[in-house]
Structure 1
Amino acid sequence: MFRMTTLALLVGSASCAWAQDNALTLPTSTVSAMADTASQATSLDLDRPIDSGSNLNLSARENPASVSVADRKTMERIGARTFQDAANALPGVNASAPPGWGGYVAYRGFNGAQISQLFNGINLQYGGAARPVGAWIYDRVELLGGPSSFLNGSGAVGGSLNVITKLADRDEDTFEGRVSYGRYDTMETSVGFNKALNTGDGPRHYARLDYSRTSTNSYIDRQENGAGNLAFSLLSDINDQLSHTLALEYLEEKEDSPYWGTPVLQPLVGELHIDKHDRFNNYNVEDGRYEQRTRWLRSITEYRFDDSTRLHNTFYHYDGQRDYRNLEVYRYNADNSTIARSGGYRQRHDQEVNGNRIDLSHQGQLFGLASDWAFGVDYNRNQQTNYPLSKGAFDTVDPSAFDPDRFLDIPGMDAPRSKGRSTTTDTSSLFVENRTRLTDQLSLISALRYDHIDFDVVDHVARTSLDRRWDAITGRLGLVYDLTSNLSLYTQYSTSAEPPGGTLTSASISQVGDFDLSTGRQVEVGSKFDFLDGRGSATAAAYRIVRKNISVPSSTVPNTTEQAGQQTSTGIELAASFKVTPQLLAAGNFSWVNAEYDEFNETVSGVVYSRKGKNPVNIPERTANLWLTYDLAPGWQVGADARYVSSVYANTANTMWVPSYTLYGLSMTHDLDKHVQLSARLRNLTDEVYARFIHQTNTQYYVGEPRSLEVAVQWRY
């Protein structure tokens, strides 16, 4: 509690007001060409257009919603190694990557499929595809708070997180790179260039290539990870009206002996603890493995009829394959002297997504009032087949001294690979969005979307199948009032719709059944403003989200789900950036959410329990971030940062919980010249032992990284 109070006072001293838009455009170190000083880049840049908030190219100030961005400069300033690190810098987000979940995000009281994770605006509808990999190829991470089905289709009752890659641009020729080394042999080697390929009359072409290689021996025993990320794009200006961008991205990742968590000591009640002496032990088998290979292709065409009308078309193709081969579940006996290992699991996921989105935007008038429109059509087919094989109990080991054995030592794991379940999801969508300026100060923003979802699932083992169809209509209605040129107020009402089971790509027949769509609605109010003659900027949001028809475990029939229940989330979000002195900049954010079930009956050992008033698992009530940066002298800068995450419940009965944690960090940068920068960063200064995630079914900590030092050199020509 003391640490939380201290951090709140620090955030308050940075003038953190309510909410979240663009809260993280932090400065860099010196007057060199590497970046800006603390005395220059201080605002939240509320007037920069944000792709993820609207189809109308609205800025944060113009949008009647919470929209925040961690851009490229922000990622470099906070030392983001993955896009999840960047996401955690955004207000209210708590992201991690426990095995089996891939990309886990909790936000506004929701998690999993209730938070849409997008890749350049495209939803793969599968959390396992959002594993955090090297951040080098990404340009920014954008967050839209609350129900956003009107923009991104089904799902997203809690919000949408959009990861956007670098693309070729017309600005300048550049060559840049980064090399870093840290504790546990954690290394990154990244290079990139942007170049105009020709000059003169006729079509003009620009190319960009980025490559990143990361590897680590990990703080967990025997766990090793290596990943390569390649991105290429070609921008062609055919003429003054027509342009085309071809974008390709490829990722290959391999992890040996993946860490599936540290078992919690018995008894499983109250505040959960682990044996800190064994916290880095890996109870997976010696040759456990996770691998993924993904490929993206996007063809982006833009045609400008005139200054007010534009046509934009994006064709996209995705192909991904993920392989798991692990022993995943570990549990102490009653006196905590031995650990029983179980949960042998071998699985392959083959996923392919193909789609096309076309939208037309027009700036015109409606009844004599300035009115902007966006119309669009979107179609995609999402197919996935899994090949599962699982076994139960395996052995019992001494927690401190044991032979991990090998995967084929688990009986039955040498069986041939066979199909388990195949799903095909066809989604056809129509959408329209409008902003009309009712007066010079007041704007009305509205949106409406229709989705037709056609879902087929085939259970190859049971030789059964199911074909379901749903129709969803979602929308948003908001008002933005510019009280002054520096202060705007907004309010909005938005809705969402989500297929039963959350993620259709991995849904079983029992999860879908005859269930209706889960629906959500949100009311949000907020403000965005600059203060003290531009020395500071802040945003504020307060919201209430109600989600109905939640798929929950059946209260009468074992191993099935039923659609009954309601969850409500009420919260506030604060963010600000403030130039305290010409050399010192403070920036931070804070969020609070009260998420609880209004209706939820859970069956445990044949007995039905009401979970009304209980909190969902792995949802922190409070999160906060703080950054302080100080220009010591030209070419030298020091920084300090802190992150707080409150305790989370480990079960729906709320009888078990994981304690809160606070992480502190220090950094220093030095510009050798206007092109080359050296940096050193110390993470988890106090060597805090903490859980980034708690497995609900396995009751295992996903232990966070201990204290570590990283040094890096980065250049840009």
Structure 2
Amino acid sequence: MKTRDTSLVLLLGACNIAWAQDASVELDTLNIQAEYQQPSGISLDQPIKTGSRLGLTARETPASVSISDRSVIEERGAKDTQEVINGMTGINASANPGYGGFVAYRGFTQNQITQLFNGINLGYSSASRPVDSWMIDRVELIGGPSTFLYGAGAVGGSINYISKLANREQQLFEGRLRYGSFDESEVSLGVNQALGGVNAKHFLRLDYSRGQSNGYIDRNERETNSFAISLLSDLTPDLSHTLAVEHPEDRDESPYWGSPVLDTGSRTMKIDKSRRFENYNSADGRYEQRVRWVRSIVDYQLGSDTSLQNTLYNYDAQRDYRNLESYRYTSDNSQVVRSGAYMQRHEQQLLGNRLELTHGTSLFGLGSQWAVGVDYSLMKQALYPTGGTFSEAVDPKVFDPGSFYDVSGMGGGYRKQRGHEITTRALFLENRLSLTDRLSLLTGLRYDHLQMEVTNYGAVSATSPAFFKRSWEPLSGRIGLMYELSPDANLYLQYSTSADLPAGALASATYSNVGLFDLSKGEQWEVGSKFDFIDGRGSATIALYQIVRRDFAVRDSVNPNLTVQAGQQTSRGIEVAGKFQLTPKLLAEANYAYVEAEYDEFNEAVGGASVSREGNNPINIPDSVANLWLTYSLTPDWYFGVDSRYVASVYANNANTIKAPSYTLFGAFARYRVDDNTSITARVRNLTDEVYAKQAYGSQYYMGAPRSVDVALDMRF
């Protein structure tokens, strides 16, 4: 990938790595014993950047918010960001090559869930592939529309992946060695070092992570390499600057695209378990991604209640695909038909700057906090799609996977088809007003000016002009009330709105997607509570919500050849999360989400006719998702834990005629602390070797990993 001009950037939010110890003391011949308290994913008093720009804690934010910080990521053994978010309330994520960072949440998927990196919106779900968890300090989640914070999109919610950065710790070394089933290995190192001794004003952090695996699917080998460096400089007592560079890469050889389902006449999808690990892709199929982030972070404390932040950032990525993507059984289930030869390249660059000011003051004699700012970004993406006509029936027991380049038309290399350029200019404002000692009002507003220009380098037609451009000016916001019942419990009510494309994403949308349409509109009502109980031994959150998305693209009810802006979807649900220290040694944590998502108005073309799907459920939306963890400290050095995850069945088509079955996964771990700096963890995943679909589409489903075992050595000095 050629080198491009690089600019610098700023990270929104410093991160904490907390290693908590709950000391219990026995006064018996001065013998002191320390009990280790397991990290928890429910922490109401941590500041959360993703729910507000005002530095509010999760407890103070009038929305459903979740945090998985570094200690939780390590405790649960999450290998990448996908595993991190699957432990968060209501999330169901997978990452087959074609769908990148697929997330289902609150009844919505794909580009209706905004995935941010350090508060930066890439505007394209395929850019949100999982990142090695070693590089991440924390992940934050906010439920429901949050366009007023991050721009167009985010009907269902926003997920923010926050990287590790240099901090003012004098010296730190941490590392991990991990090896497990399918020859899966990880080598990760991190160093934070003060430059200049005790009175240092500069702090350097380096992180490196390398992962390899032969894959649980035949012939699917994977390799990841991630490198990050950041330098924090205290220029004056009130002014600091952080320069951060990250370079993750990942490569899949002969990627797994899914397993064909048997033709049984049943509504429930089923695969041939004897061919469970078969790979029907070509021998030289490939997915590759190379990314470079550069960020410059300036923090200036103008006064005790006033601060200024500036974020200048550059993102540069190239993603390459060449695969046979589609497989189905013949009617007698004797052969598998391979098709869907497709080659693609994405070249994506994003250059932007965000300036924001926070200020504490009084308004009408009431305490008030403000955040105001401006956003500017320029995104460019070039697409090189090439499809080939290919169909081959093979005996699934024995076949030659062949070469992708043997497919007719695939030997000519990448051919540029479209170029996208999206300019975003935005103004945003947020306020928290303390109406009384217990009641506060939170408001937020954002104005965006979006301009999109698309150049077509392929064949020109009425629906694919040589060039077109569109502009939109959405206004979105949130208003919320937070009432403190006691210092340990509150109630909140909020209303928020969103705006997003009627179909597709700005980085890849065609004239048919957006050429004649306005933006879709979304709105949410949410009520909830966050509270501690039994003298702080437990904490819990509960939220009830309704989201309505209107005016997205559907087929015309009369003419299926026309697309009109008339769709509507409603999602209603409840989310509950909690933790409880059952005994000084035993911690229980759980979350559960239920959503009822259905189309109020939706038509699609079937066999040349327009068919209504009113009342049907969207694809790949489970109505229930639940997680449970039990962790037990047997001695100060031995810890044990079990976990389970339940995901309800999902439909694989808009007609709701086929579905992937529900599944439940179990896991267990044992950890031994060799000393204060070293621990060894053995972990079993999918303990019962469940066969399950993480995602379903058409005639195939994307199977999750079978039972696996790994052992990890963690060090921290």
Q: Which residue of 1 aligns with 2:541?
A: 539
The yes-or-no answer on 1:59 pairing with 2:57 is yes
CA distance in 2, matches of 1:114, 1:314: 25
Higher relative contact order (CA 8 A, sep 6+): 1
Amino acid at match of 2:710: E
Alignment of 1:168-187 (within 5 A): 168-187=166-185
Q: Structure 2 unaligned runs (5+)?
A: 1-16, 25-33, 461-465
Aligned to 2:146: 148
- Structure 1 residues 266-317: Cα deviation after superposition (integer angstroms, max 9, x where no partner): 1465111111111210000001011111000000101111110101000000
Match of 1:18 in 2: none
Structure-2 residue corresponding to 1:76: 74
What does residue range 62-211 of structure 1 map to in structure 2 within 5 Å?
A: 62-199=60-197, 204-211=201-208
TM-score normalised by length of structure 2: 0.94
The 5 Å alignment of 1:274-353 reads: 274-353=271-350
State the match for 1:477 in structure 2.
479
Q: Which residue of 1 aligns with 2:713?
A: 713
Contact 1:38–1:585 at 8 Å: present in 2 too?
no
Aligned alpha-carbon RMSD (Å): 1.7
Residue 553 (structure 1) shift:
3.9
| d(CA) in 2 for partners of 1:325, 1:562 | 33
CA–CA distance in structure 2, aligned partners of residues 535 and 190 of structure 1: 35
1:497 paired residue number: 499
Matches within 5 A, 1:644-663: 644-663=646-665
Superposed displacement of residue 614, structure 1: 0.5
Partner secondary structure for residue 480 of structure 2: strand
Q: Which amino acid aligns with 1:86?
A: V
Q: Is the 8 A contact 1:38 1:629 kept in 2?
A: no
Q: CA deviation at 1:44?
A: 2.7
Contact 1:381 / 1:426 at 8 angstroms: preserved in 2? yes
Is 1:572 matched with 2:584? no
Q: CA deviation at 1:678?
A: 0.4
Answer yes or no: is the 8 Å Cα contact 1:206–1:236 preserved in 2. yes
CA contact (8 A) 2:501 2:552 kept: no
For 1:40 and 1:272, how far apart are their aligned partners in 2?
Answer: 39
Aligned equivalent of 2:615, options 613, 616, 626: 613
- Offset at residue 243 of structure 1 (A): 0.5
The Cα shift of 1:612 comes to: 1.0
The question of whether the paired residues in 1 share the 8 Å contact of 2:324 and 2:340 is answered with yes
Determine the C-alpha separation between the residues in 2 that align with 1:42 and 1:546: 33
Contact 2:42 2:577 in 1 (8 A): no
Report what 1:15 is aligned to: none
Partner residue of 2:11? none
Separation (CA, whole Å) in 2 of partners of 1:460 and 1:39: 60
Structure 1 residue runs without a partner (length 5+): 1-24
| 2:364 aligned with 1:362 | no
Letter paired with 1:576 = G
- Are the aligned partners of 2:22 and 2:37 in contact in 1 as well (CA < 8 Å)? no
Aligned amino acid, residue 524 of structure 1: E
Taking only the aligned residue pairs, the percentage that are identical comes to 54
Once residues 105 and 308 of structure 1 are traced to their aligned partners in structure 2, the CA distance between those partners, rounded to angstroms, is: 38
DSSP 3-state at the match of 2:236: coil
Deviation at 1:199, TM superposition (A): 3.8
The answer (yes or no) to whether the contact 1:30–1:636 under 8 Å persists in 2 is no
Q: Which amino acid aligns with 1:136?
A: W
Amino acid at match of 1:610: S
The 1:675/1:524 distance shift into structure 2, 3 A limit, reads: same
Deviation at 1:551, TM superposition (A): 1.6
Structure 1 stretches of 4+ with a deviation exceeding 2 A read: 25-32, 36-45, 552-562
Change (3 A) 1:174 1:148: same
**2:42 counterpart residue number:** 44
Letter in 1 for 2:631: T
What SS does structure 2 have at the residue aligned with 1:504? coil
Deviates more, 1:55-64 or 1:554-563: 554-563
Look up the SS of the partner of 1:151 in the other structure. helix
How far, CA to CA, are the matches of 1:554 and 1:163 in structure 2? Answer: 39
Whole-Å Cα distance in 1 between the matches of residues 500 and 41 of structure 2?
36
Deviations 1:586-623, CA, capped at 9 Å, x for gaps: 00100000000001122200122211111000000000
Deviation at 1:627, TM superposition (A): 0.3
- Distance in 2 between residues matched to 1:608 and 1:365, nearest whole Å: 58
Cα offsets for 1:549-606 (capped at 9, x unmatched): 1122455556663211100000000000000011100001000000000011222001
1:355–1:559 Cα change, 3 Å: farther
1:417 counterpart letter in structure 2: Y
- 1:390 matched to 2:387: yes
Question: What do residues 611-669 of structure 1 show as CA deviations (whole Å, max 9, x unaligned)?
Answer: 11110000000000000000111100000000000000111111111100000001000
Does structure 2 retain, via aligned residues, the 8 Å contact 1:155–1:498?
Answer: yes
AA matched with 1:255:
D
Does the alignment pair 1:550 with 2:547? no
Mapped to 2, the partners of 1:484 and 1:359 lie a distance apart of: 33
Instruction: Return the alpha-carbon distance in structure 1 between the equivalents of residues 331 and 441 of structure 2.
Output: 61
**1:233 matched residue in structure 2:** 230
Equivalent residue, structure 2, for 1:16 = none
Instruction: Work out which of the residue numbers 657, 680, 683 in structure 1 matches 2:682.
Output: 680
**Map of 1:424 onto structure 2:** 421
CA distance in 2, matches of 1:284, 1:29: 50
Residues 408-423 of structure 1 mapped to structure 2, 5 A cutoff: 408-423=405-420
The residue type paired with residue 165 of structure 1 is S
Contact 1:30 1:671 in 2 (8 A): no
Distance 2:87 2:317 in 1: 28
Q: Check whether the contact 2:23–2:35 (CA below 8 A) recurs between aligned residues.
A: yes
Shift of 1:392: 2.6
* Amino acid paired to 1:622: S
Which residue of 520, 523, 526 corresponds with 2:528?
526
Shift, 1:30, TM fit: 9.4
After superposition, the C-alpha distances for 1:445-465 in whole angstroms (9 at most, x for unaligned) are 000000010001111102411
1:147–1:157 Cα contact (<8 Å) kept: yes
